[in-house]
Amino acid sequence: MTEDYSELEKILKVDFKNKDLLAEALTHRSYLNEHRGYRLDHNERLEFLGDAVLELVVTEYLFKNYSNPEGELTNWRAALVKGDNLAVVADELGLERFLKMSKGEKNTLGRARRYRLANLVEAIIGAIYLDQGYVKAQRFILDNVVVKLDEILKNKSYLDAKSYFQQKAQELERQTPHYEVLSESGPDHDKTFKVGVFIGEEKVAEGEGHSKQEAQRVAAANGLKVKGWN
- Catalytic residue list: 51, 122
SS3 state of residue 69: coil
Cα–Cα distance, 111 to 83 (Å, whole number): 10
Strand partners, 86: none
Most distant CA pair in the chain, distance:
69
Q: Measuring CA to CA, which residue among 38, 130, 116 is closest to residue 83? A: 116
Task: Report the first-to-last Cα separation within the chain, whole angstroms.
Answer: 55
**Inter-residue contact 25 to 153 (CB < 8 Å):** no
